[in-house]
């Protein structure tokens, strides 16, 4: 069994086992006992019903698309690790997600050659066409499957109008074994929410080098006569570090609607050119800042929409949209759900909401350095 396959099995097995067991064993409790429910006041009974939920209410399947990066599917769950009911003032929880395309790789590409000459393919002739003009380009693509697992703690204020939360997560991208950790803070007060996360890429810079020999293929529009023809490929990548800060607001008479604005920054990676006839050039890949503005709408007890727009300083700007299906139900919904609630505060209601985090980001460099020297037989 390969190392990658073993890691995949361990990560997925840990997520499934942890959340299956905690989901069933730590389902939000029905209070200290049946006798206490029978003797409770109507207000306490209403509070009890308002916070009661099971593992399916906190497990979602999300499908959607973002500009330039395509369709993605994810499954996520949050489950309490400690007893939680209408009397609890704090909760320790675990959260896990697995996303079919849970991150982005931003790549800088540089093509050049000895004495400035390199030979990109001419599609009209099927041969290499010489040019002494270096080419620089940017490319963004989705990572493959990414999984994350984390723990968090939230504590309600005395009047239950606010809570403070902390969390820590580990992310793993199965493509090339990318790893990341993060720490986060949350503060919910009234109908307002403020969150911040700091991300740290693990593993340092990964490098790869290989040479492609072109002497024995019919690629050039001239004979080599036994001369030299090859190009060297240099690849560099690193998981990016960064941070994000977000603000969200829910509406008193429309608790099914939530608007938010997120700001983020990624540090990037500096890549020095390898093959060169002159001073080395230094390029930067992945460094960017951006803002997301959007709204989450709980349309029915099972279905919600997440719609918004990302404005990035350098890479993927554009609209995005996701539809989320909850295995259980949400108490607040535009159709067939409550619109408002006076029994419990917004902070109490959101004690078991999932932690919102940014996807994993990778900075990559790709360089081709060509050396083509035909042999002159004259």
Does 305 reside within a domain? Answer: yes
Q: What is the CATH number of the domain that holds 155?
A: 2.40.160.160
Q: What is the pTM for the complete model shown?
A: 0.82
Does 294 reside within a domain? Answer: yes
User: How far is residue 151's CA from residue 18's CA, in Å, rounded to a whole number?
Assistant: 11
Residue 71 host element (H or E): strand 70-80
Does 333 reside within a domain? Answer: yes
Does 127 reside within a domain? Answer: yes
Question: Strands 242-251 and 192-202, how do they pair?
Answer: antiparallel
Does 10 reside within a domain? Answer: no
Tens digit of pLDDT at every position of the chain (378 positions): 444 444 444 334 433 343 333 343 344 444 444 444 444 455 566 666 667 778 888 889 888 877 656 678 899 999 999 998 888 899 999 999 999 878 889 999 999 998 889 999 998 888 999 999 999 888 888 888 999 999 999 999 998 899 999 999 999 999 888 999 999 999 999 899 999 999 999 988 899 999 999 988 889 988 888 889 999 999 999 999 999 999 999 998 998 999 999 999 999 888 888 766 656 778 888 889 999 999 999 999 999 999 999 998 888 788 989 999 988 888 888 998 888 877 678 888 889 999 999 999 999 999 999 999 988 644
Which range marks the domain in which residue 335 is found? 60-75+101-373
3-state SS track over 133-161: CCEEEEEEEECCCEEEEEEEEEEECCCCC
Tokens of 299: 């349309």
Does 211 reside within a domain? Answer: yes
Does 24 reside within a domain? Answer: no
* Domains identified in the chain, total number: 1
Does 53 reside within a domain? Answer: no
């Amino acid at each position: 069994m390969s190392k990658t396959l073993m890691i995949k099995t361990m990560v997925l097995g840990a997520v499934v086992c942890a959340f299956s067991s905690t989901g069933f064993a730590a389902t939000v409790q029905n209070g200290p006992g049946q006798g206490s429910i029978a003797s409770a006041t109507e207000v306490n009974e209403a509070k009890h019903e308002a916070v009661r939920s099971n593992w399916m209410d906190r497990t979602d399947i999300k499908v959607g698309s973002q500009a330039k990066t395509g369709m993605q599917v994810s499954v996520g769950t949050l489950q309490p690790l400690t007893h939680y009911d209408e009397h609890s003032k704090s909760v320790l929880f675990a959260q896990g997600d697995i996303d079919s395309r849970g991150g982005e790789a931003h790549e800088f590409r540089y093509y050049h050659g000895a004495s400035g000459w390199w030979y990109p393919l001419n599609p009209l002739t099927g041969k290499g066409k010489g040019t002494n003009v270096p080419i620089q380009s940017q490319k963004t693509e989705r990572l493959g499957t990414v999984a994350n697992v984390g723990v968090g703690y939230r504590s309600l204020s005395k009047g239950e109008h606010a809570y403070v939360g902390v969390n820590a997560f580990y992310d793993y991208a199965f493509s090339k074994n990318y790893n990341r950790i993060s720490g986060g803070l949350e503060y919910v007060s009234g109908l307002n929410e403020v969150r911040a996360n700091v991300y740290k890429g693990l593993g340092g810079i990964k490098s790869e080098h290989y040479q492609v020999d072109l002497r024995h293929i019919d690629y050039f529009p001239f004979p080599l006569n036994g001369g030299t023809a090859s190009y060297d490929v240099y690849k560099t990548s690193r998981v990016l570090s960064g941070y994000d800060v977000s603000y969200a607001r829910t509406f008193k008479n429309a608790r099914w609607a939530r608007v938010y604005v997120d700001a983020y920054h990624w540090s990037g990676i500096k890549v020095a050119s390898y093959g060169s006839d002159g001073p080395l050039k230094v390029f930067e890949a992945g460094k960017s800042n951006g803002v997301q503005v959007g709204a989450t709408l709980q349309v029915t007890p099972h279905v919600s929409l997440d719609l918004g727009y990302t404005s990035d300083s350098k890479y993927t700007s554009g609209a995005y949209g996701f539809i989320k299906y909850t295995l259980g139900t949400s108490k607040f919904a535009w159709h067939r759900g409550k619109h408002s609630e006076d029994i419990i505060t917004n902070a109490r209601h959101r004690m078991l909401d999932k932690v919102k985090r940014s996807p994993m980001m990778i900075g990559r460099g790709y360089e081709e350095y060509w050396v083509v020297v035909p042999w002159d037989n004259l």
